């Protein structure tokens, strides 16, 4: 007796950037595609008025949580840019889905990671993204080296004495580095680094004084 093929369960994700845009057309086409494929719909996740560059979308977050719990077998979207407009974020999302054993189908792009061709396309996209990242890194390193060769000072500008004194007063009052940085418009790490430097110099000075006293 032949084994019965298990029916796949699909989650549908749709997104539009503004209130004036509608997801009706996306959902209509995707529902029909699911029916033609003989799948079942687990749930439809819809983000209305959310940019594709924003990864903190409520429906997107809920969908990824369900994927990690293996609530469905595959994720179906209208286009790749409905999932994300950032190539880096898109690669990370598809990697996460793959790690959970979830296949990905982009209807308009004709991409299905459950097929050999779809897997190859995804690997090529990932390789291109990694190549672009390496090129950007090389340009940054070359730019920094060129700036140093011209004697340019790199990094954040130093904190003025007035700002440091004010930060010291706020620190003495018990405020956190984050609160101080927010109040003075300075990066928290810069303040920490300056306080650490002042402390090290003060301790070094005490060591010298103590050494001099012992010498006498």
CB of 79 closer than 8 Å to CB of 109? yes
Q: Are 156 and 135 in contact (CB under 8 A)?
A: no
Residues 69 and 18: their CA atoms lie apart, in Å, by: 30
Q: Which residue has the tokens 């003075």?
A: 184
| Catalytic (active site) residue 160 | no
- 183-195 CB burial, b ≥16 within 10 A, e <16: ebebeeebbeebb
Tokens 């009706």, residue?
A: 24
* Catalytic positions, written as ranges: 17
């Amino acid at each position: 007796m032949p084994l019965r093929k298990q029916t796949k369960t699909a989650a549908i994700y749709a997104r539009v950037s503004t209130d004036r845009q509608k997801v009706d057309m996306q959902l209509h086409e995707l529902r029909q595609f699911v029916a033609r494929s003989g799948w079942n719909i687990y749930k439809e996740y819809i983000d209305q008025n959310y940019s594709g560059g924003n990864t903190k979308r409520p429906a997107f977050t809920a969908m990824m949580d369900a994927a990690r719990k293996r609530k469905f077998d595959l994720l179906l979207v209208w286009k790749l840019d409905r999932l994300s407009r950032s190539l880096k974020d898109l690669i990370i999302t598809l990697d996460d889905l793959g790690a959970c054993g979830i296949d990905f189908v982009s209807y308009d792009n004709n991409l299905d990671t459950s097929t050999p061709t779809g897997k190859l396309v995804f690997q090529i996209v990932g390789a291109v993204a990694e190549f672009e990242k390496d090129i950007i890194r090389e340009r940054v390193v070359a730019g920094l080296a060129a700036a140093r060769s011209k004697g340019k000072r790199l990094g954040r500008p130093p904190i003025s004495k007035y700002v440091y004194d004010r930060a010291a007063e706020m620190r003495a009052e018990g405020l956190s580095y984050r609160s101080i940085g927010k109040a003075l418009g300075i990066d928290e790490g810069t303040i920490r680094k300056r306080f650490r430097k002042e402390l090290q110099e003060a301790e070094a000075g005490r060591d010298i004084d103590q050494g001099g006293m012992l010498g006498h």
